């Protein structure tokens, strides 16, 4: 039984080239290697010729991690801006000491910057009283971890908020759920997600809620009648004061039932004349 294997040359790489640092404490030099995890190396910093005052700095026993990464922390607070130096990795058995040329630069102020993107929904129409759910992506594009209060605003007023902590280069999705709109009037509003550094906005259109009627008080536009006080335009009669237009009689002062004026008086007169004639004949 035979087997084959290959031997790779040890390799060390730096994460930056050049690897500039600031004239301050806590400056980290980092890189990767293909050597076995747990292997220890020394990382050396030496000023170039012509740099005054000169300096040499060494961090010993820098351990290679299981993922092949390594890092060493240095104090450069005693150096000057524009000082030039060389960083090298040293280990017994290395045929060459990997190195990179670098320069001391002004200290970079660490700060966070929370950028907002992917607002959802953007331009949206809803009804007054609807509950809204808004999401957005917040990314820290700065070089320091920070915590900021992220707000959801409608018409310039914050209606919901949450605290978000992000490391440099990290991002997250924020959600504002069940945002109540019942306290708002119908109309167009600017809505959006805001951080201390950035915002993304769009238009929210709120329409009036339907109250279930046709725009009146559940009637045909009046007080529940046909436009009057509950009658046909009079005081409960056919246009008079409760009678048929007379003074409570049959409409005349001596009419018969068929409406012929004076008929009863005429009969009486004829009867009287007849009686007189009869009496005259008897006297003869």
pLDDT-derived band at 234, boundaries 50, 70, 90 = very low
Over residues 2-28, mean pLDDT: 82
pLDDT at res. 198: 96
DSSP 248-276: SSSSSSSB-TT--BTHHHHHHHHHHHHHH
Alpha carbons within 13 A on the beta-carbon side of 76: 29
Q: Which two tokens stand for residue 102?
A: 């670098």
User: In CATH, which superfamily holds the domain spanning 114-207?
Assistant: Immunoglobulins (2.60.40.10)
Q: pLDDT at residue 1 above 90? A: no
Q: Report long-range pairs for 5-13 (Cβ below 8 Å, ≥24 apart).
A: 8/34, 9/95, 10/34, 10/35, 10/91, 10/93, 10/94, 11/35, 11/98, 12/41, 12/89, 12/98, 13/98
Q: What pLDDT digit, counting tens, does each position of 147-157 carry?
A: 999 999 999 99
Query: What CA–CA distances, in Å, run from 76 to 13, 45, 69, 80, 85?
Result: 22, 10, 22, 8, 11
Mean pLDDT, range 179-192, rounded to an integer: 94
pLDDT digits (tens, 9 = 90+) for 19-42: 999 999 999 999 999 989 999 999
Task: For the chain, give every domain's residue range.
Answer: 12-105, 114-207
Name the fold adopted by 12-105.
Answer: Immunoglobulin-like (2.60.40)
Give the position of tokens 């999705």: 173
């Amino acid at each position: 039984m035979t087997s084959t294997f290959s031997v790779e040359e040890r390799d060390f790489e730096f994460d930056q080239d050049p690897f500039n640092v600031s004239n301050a404490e806590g400056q980290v030099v980092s890189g990767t290697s293909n050597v076995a995890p747990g292997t220890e190396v020394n990382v050396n910093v030496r000023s170039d010729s012509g740099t005054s005052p000169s300096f040499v700095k060494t961090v010993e026993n820098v351990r290679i991690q299981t993922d092949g990464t390594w890092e060493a922390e240095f104090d450069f607070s005693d150096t000057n801006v524009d000082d030039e130096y060389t960083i090298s990795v040293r280990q017994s058995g290395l045929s060459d000491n990997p190195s990179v040329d670098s320069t001391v630069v002004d200290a970079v102020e660490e700060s966070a910057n929370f950028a907002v993107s992917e607002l959802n929904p953007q331009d949206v129409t809803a009804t007054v009283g609807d509950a809204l759910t808004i999401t957005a992506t917040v990314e820290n594009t700065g070089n320091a971890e920070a915590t900021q209060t992220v707000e959801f605003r409608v018409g310039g007023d914050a209606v919901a908020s949450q605290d978000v902590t992000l490391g440099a280069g990290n991002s997250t999705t924020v959600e504002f759920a069940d945002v109540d709109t019942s306290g708002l009037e119908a109309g167009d509003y600017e809505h959006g997600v805001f951080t201390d550094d950035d915002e993304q906005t769009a238009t929210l259109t709120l329409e009036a809620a339907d109250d279930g009627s046709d725009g009146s008080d559940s009637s045909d536009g009046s007080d529940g009648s046909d436009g009057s006080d509950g009658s046909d335009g009079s005081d409960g009669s056919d246009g008079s004061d409760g009678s048929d237009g007379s003074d409570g009689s049959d409409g005349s002062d001596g009419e018969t039932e068929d409406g012929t004026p004076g008929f009863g008086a005429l009969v009486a007169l004829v009867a009287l004349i007849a009686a007189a004639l009869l009496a005259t004949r008897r006297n003869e």
